[in-house]
Structure 1
Amino acid sequence: MILEDFIEIDKTGLFCRYGNFYLDPKEAVKNAVISHAHGDHAVGGNHNVYCTMATSLFMHHRYKKFAGGEFYIMEYHQTFDVNGVKVSFIPAGHILGSAMVLMEYEGVKYLYTGDYKLQPDKTCEPVEFVEADVLITETTFADPETQHPIAEEEIIKLSSTTSNIMLGAYALGKCQRLISLMNDYCTEKRILVHYSMLPFVKIYEQMGVNLGKYEIYDRKVMKNNHTNMVYMVPPMVFKSYFKAINVIRIFATGWKHLQSSHEIQLYISDHADWNDIILTIEKVKPKQVWTNHGNGYHLKKHYEKSLVVKLLN
């Protein structure tokens, strides 16, 4: 029997009281099961942390000695017990080390997606599907009008100009995917990376991911070369350099409202879009869908006559 209160939301996040642990808590807790290392899913200071190896490396870089107490590093598909709940990690395809969290309690399976994507991405483990009784899915882009274009086709937009480019991107996940894509599809570009992004790049390489060629940003190099340079910067730097001259400003994101003011719109997202979420539901074959991290209204309406959809947030 599905337990309607198996996962509950409080100010700290998604709480599994049957196993006394949080999924991606927003503040430090005793037991944290972490899906991936983005800052809105992985905070520092938790007492016990269950995650993949890559996630632990990213967290230790970001939070240093405040990353957490005891880290329990788990392989994908390895079953472990957290206070009576059987847990395992399934590749989520979002960033390197990202995982869906499969939980089994009293014979019922609950699958928490964290953030995930179905598009191919050479820089991280491809998403996998497992069947579950309850699918707890992110709904960041759960709108029938949202369909992400193919990333390999989007990246070619950068070759439409020889002007130097300031490319804004998240330092973890998006940065590394873009480096790889540009090396494959925009070979004329010379990629310069902001120093703050390099530690995450190095962890990718440490984990065996070959991203291709790139260089650390050098002001003289950028100043002396006026064509085909791509300077990749994190969001805060991109925002602060809004008056940068002699460059085309481009930000890589799936959000349309962040694209409107840019000469070239680069729609590359690391989240599932509407069609991906529908396909995931088909693959997981849940009896119920619980939505989180976004608006689940459209899903609830879409399945109103065929599937129970519960909005957690």
Structure 2
Amino acid sequence: MILDDFIVIDKTGLFCRYGDFYLDPKEAVKNAVISHAHGDHAIGGNVNVYCTEATSLFMLHRYKKFAAGEFNIKKYNSAFEVNGVKITFVPAGHILGSAMVLMEYQGVKYLYTGDYKLQPDKTCEPIEFVEADVLITETTFADPATQHPNAEEEISKLNTTTTNIMLGAYSLGKCQRLISLINDHCIEKRILLHHSMVPFVKIYEQMGVSLGKYEVYDRKVMKNNLTGMIYMVPPMVFRSYFKAINVIRVFATGWKHLQNNHEIQLYISDHADWNDIILTIQKVNPQQVWTNHGNGLQLKNYYEKSLVVKLLN
């Protein structure tokens, strides 16, 4: 029997009282099961952290000695227990080390997706589907009007200009995917990385992921080469240099409102769009869908007559 209160939301996040742990807590807790290392899912200071190896390395870089009291590193598809709840990490395809969390309790399977994507991405483990009785899915882009374009075609837009480009991107996941895509599809371009992005790139390489060519940003290099350069920077730097000259400003994201006033609009997202969410539901074949991280109302309406959809947030 599905337990309606197996996962509940409180001010700290998604709590499983049957196993006394949180999924991606927003505040430090005793037991944290972390799906991936983005800052809105993985904070420092938790006592016991259960995660993949890559996630632990990213957290150690970001939070240093405050990353966790103890890391319990788990491999994909290898079950372990937390206070009587059986847990298995399944590749989520979002960034390197990202995992969906399959929880089994009293014969019922609950699958928490964290963030996930179905688009191919050479820089992280591809998503794997498992069946579950309850799917707890993110709904960041759960809107029928949202359909992410092909990333390979999008990145090729950068070939339409020879002018230098300031490319805004998240430092973890998006940065590494873009480096790989640019090396594959914009071979005439030369990539310069903001220094803050380099440690995350090095962890990817440490984990055996080959991204291709890049250089650490050098002002002289950028100044002496007025064409063919892509200077990749994190969002905060991108926003602070809004008056940058001799560059085209481009920001890689699935959000339309973040593309405003950019000469080139680069719709590359690391989340599932509407069609991907529908396909995931088909693959998981749940009895119920619980939504999180976004607005699940359109999903609820879509399945009104065929599937129980509960909005957790």
The bucket for the TM-score relative to the shorter chain is over 0.9
User: Runs of 4+ in structure 1 displaced over 6 angstroms?
Assistant: none
Alignment pair present for 1:151 and 2:151: yes
Identity of aligned residues (%): 84
CA shift for structure 1 position 239: 0.3
Aligned match of 1:124: 124
Report the 3-state secondary structure (helix = DSSP H, G, I; strand = E; otherwise coil) of the residue aligned with 1:4.
Answer: coil
Partner deviation per Cα, 1:144-176 (whole Å, 9 max, x = no partner): 000000000000000000000000000000000
Match of 2:267 in 1: 267
Please give the alpha-carbon distance, in whole angstroms, between the structure 2 residues aligned to 1:169 and 1:104: 36
Unmatched 5+ residue regions in structure 1?
Answer: none
Alignment partner, residue 95 of structure 1: 95
Partners of 1:267 and 1:6 in 2: CA distance: 36
Q: How does 1:47-196 map to 2 (within 5 A)?
A: 47-196=47-196
What's the CA shift for 1:51? 0.1
Find the aligned partners of 1:156 and 1:302 in 2 and give their Cα distance. Answer: 34
Inter-partner Cα distance in structure 2 for 1:261 and 1:45? 39
Deviation of the 1:260 alpha carbon:
1.6
SS in 1 for 2:175: helix
Give the secondary structure class of the aligned counterpart of 1:145: coil
| Alignment of 1:220 onto 2:214 | no
- What is the deviation of 1:261? 1.1
> C-alpha distance in 2, partners of 1:27/1:241?
32
Match of 1:3 in 2: 3
Other structure's SS at 2:222 match? helix
> Residues 16-54 of structure 1: CA distance to partner in whole angstroms, max 9, x if unpaired?
000000000001000000000000000000000000000
Q: Deviations over 1:67-111 (max 9, x none)?
A: 010100000011000000000100000000000000000000000
Deviation string, structure 1 residues 212-267 (Cα, Å, up to 9, x no partner): 00000000000000001000000000000000000000000000000021000000
What is the alpha-carbon distance in structure 1 between the residues aligned to residue 210 and residue 81 of structure 2?
Answer: 34
Structure 1 SS opposite 2:64: helix
Letter in 2 for 1:203: I
Which residue does the alignment assign to 1:247? 247
Cross-structure match for 2:39:
39
**Counterpart-to-counterpart distance in 1, 2:127 and 2:171:** 21
SS at match of 1:147: coil
Q: CA RMSD in A?
A: 0.2
Cα deviation for residue 121 of structure 1 reads 0.0
In structure 1, what is the Cα distance between the partners aligned to 2:70 and 2:117?
29
The SS at the match of 2:227 is: coil
Please give the secondary structure, in 1, of the residue aligned with 2:100.
Answer: strand
Matches of 2:245 and 2:280 in 1, distance apart? 44
Structure 2 Cα separation of the partners of residues 259 and 234 of structure 1: 15
Give, in whole Å, the separation in 2 of the partners of 1:125 and 1:81.
23
d(CA) in 2 for partners of 1:148, 1:219: 34
1:133 is displaced (CA, Å) by 0.0
The question of 1:294 aligning with 2:294 is answered yes
Q: Say if 2:243 is the partner of 1:237.
A: no
* Aligned mates of 2:261, 2:199 — CA distance in 1: 30
Question: 2-side partners of 1:234 and 1:78: how far apart?
Answer: 34
> How many angstroms apart in 1 are the aligned matches of 2:260 and 2:213?
30
Aligned partners of 2:110 and 2:15: how far apart in 1?
13
Matched residues in 1 for 2:261 and 2:270: separation? 21
Separation (CA, whole Å) in 2 of partners of 1:29 and 1:50:
12
Letter in structure 1 aligned against 2:223: K
TM-score norm. by structure 2 comes to 1.00
Partner of 2:197: 197
d(CA) in 2 for partners of 1:254 and 1:147? 9
**Equivalent residue letter for 2:116:** Y
1:243-296 residue CA offsets vs partner (Å, 9 max, x unmatched): 000000000000000002100000000000000000000000000000000000
